[in-house]
Amino acid sequence: MYTILITVAIITGITTSLAILLTLADAYIADYGEKKIIINQEKEFIIDGGSSLLSSLVSQNIFIPSACGGKGSCGYCKCKINSGGGPVLVTELSYLTKDDLKNDIRLSCQVKVKNDIAIEIPNELFNVKRYEATVETLEDLTNKIKLIRLKITSNDPSTIEFKAGQYIQLTAPPYGNNSEEVYRAYSIASATKDIHYINLLIGYVERGIVTTYVHKHLSQGNSLTFTGPYGDFYLQNTDSEIILVAVGTGMAPILSILYELLEERSPRKTTFFFGARTKSDLFMLEEMEMFEKELPNFKFVPTLSRPTEEDNWQGNIGRVTNAIENLIDKGDSTREAYLCGGTSMINSTVEVLLEKGMQEHLIYYDKFD
Residue ending a domain, choose from 174, 200, 230: 230
CA proximity to 334, closest of 305, 363, 306, 366: 363
Residue ending a domain, choose from 75, 94, 125: 125
CA proximity to 59, closest of 72, 49, 68, 71: 49
Q: Is the per-residue pLDDT at 7 higher than 70?
A: no
Q: Which CATH number does the domain housing residue 41 bear?
A: 3.10.20.30
Q: Based on the fold, state whether residues 211 and 187 are members of the same structural domain.
A: yes
Q: Based on the fold, state whether residues 249 and 362 are members of the same structural domain.
A: yes
7 lies in some domain: no
Q: Which pLDDT score is estimated for 69? A: 72
Q: Based on the fold, state whether residues 198 and 254 are members of the same structural domain.
A: no
Q: Is the per-residue pLDDT at 277 higher than 90?
A: yes
The answer to whether 276 touches 248, Cβ cutoff 8 Å, is: yes
pLDDT digits (tens, 9 = 90+) for 105-156: 999 999 999 999 999 999 999 999 999 999 999 999 999 999 999 999 999 9
pLDDT digits (tens, 9 = 90+) for 156-197: 999 999 999 999 999 999 998 888 888 899 999 999 999 999
Q: Which pLDDT score is estimated for 71? A: 80
5 lies in some domain: no
Q: Is the per-residue pLDDT at 33 higher than 50?
A: yes
Give the count of beta carbons closer than 10 Å to the beta carbon of residue 31: 10
Q: Is the per-residue pLDDT at 23 higher than 50?
A: no
166 lies in some domain: yes
pLDDT digits (tens, 9 = 90+) for 332-352: 889 999 999 999 999 999 999
In this prediction, residue 14 has a pLDDT band, given cuts at 50, 70 and 90, of low
Q: Print the domain residue range for 349.
A: 242-367
Mean pLDDT is lowest, of 70-74, 229-233, 313-317, for 70-74
In this prediction, residue 17 has a pLDDT band, given cuts at 50, 70 and 90, of low
Residue 31 or residue 317, greater confidence:
317
- Number of domains comprising the chain: 3
The answer to whether 346 touches 290, Cβ cutoff 8 Å, is: no
In this prediction, residue 93 has a pLDDT band, given cuts at 50, 70 and 90, of very high
pLDDT digits (tens, 9 = 90+) for 286-304: 999 999 999 999 999 999 9
Q: Which pLDDT score is estimated for 92? A: 94
| Three-state secondary-structure class, residue 214 | helix
pLDDT digits (tens, 9 = 90+) for 78-91: 999 999 999 999 99
Q: Based on the fold, state whether residues 246 and 363 are members of the same structural domain.
A: yes
In this prediction, residue 368 has a pLDDT band, given cuts at 50, 70 and 90, of confident
In this prediction, residue 30 has a pLDDT band, given cuts at 50, 70 and 90, of low
Q: Based on the fold, state whether residues 282 and 223 are members of the same structural domain.
A: no
- The CA-atom distances, in angstroms, between 276 and each of 134, 251, 281, 301 are 31, 11, 6, 11
Q: Based on the fold, state whether residues 78 and 177 are members of the same structural domain.
A: no
Give the count of beta carbons closer than 10 Å to the beta carbon of residue 207: 6
Give the count of beta carbons closer than 10 Å to the beta carbon of residue 335: 20
Q: Is the per-residue pLDDT at 42 higher than 60?
A: yes
The span from the CA of 299 to the CA of 301, in Å, is: 6
Q: Is the per-residue pLDDT at 13 higher than 80?
A: no
In this prediction, residue 67 has a pLDDT band, given cuts at 50, 70 and 90, of confident
- The CA-atom distances, in angstroms, between 108 and each of 112, 157, 326 are 8, 26, 45
The helix (run of H) or strand (run of E) holding residue 242 is strand 242-247
The helix (run of H) or strand (run of E) holding residue 363 is strand 363-367
pLDDT digits (tens, 9 = 90+) for 224-273: 999 999 999 999 999 999 999 999 999 999 999 999 999 999 999 999 99
320 lies in some domain: yes
134 lies in some domain: yes
Q: Is the per-residue pLDDT at 98 higher than 70?
A: yes
Q: Which pLDDT score is estimated for 264? A: 94
The span from the CA of 216 to the CA of 82, in Å, is: 44
Q: Based on the fold, state whether residues 154 and 192 are members of the same structural domain.
A: yes
CA proximity to 247, closest of 198, 203, 295, 294: 203
Edge to edge, what strands does the sheet with 316-317 contain? 316-317, 298-304, 270-276, 242-247, 336-341, 363-367
Q: Based on the fold, state whether residues 156 and 217 are members of the same structural domain.
A: yes
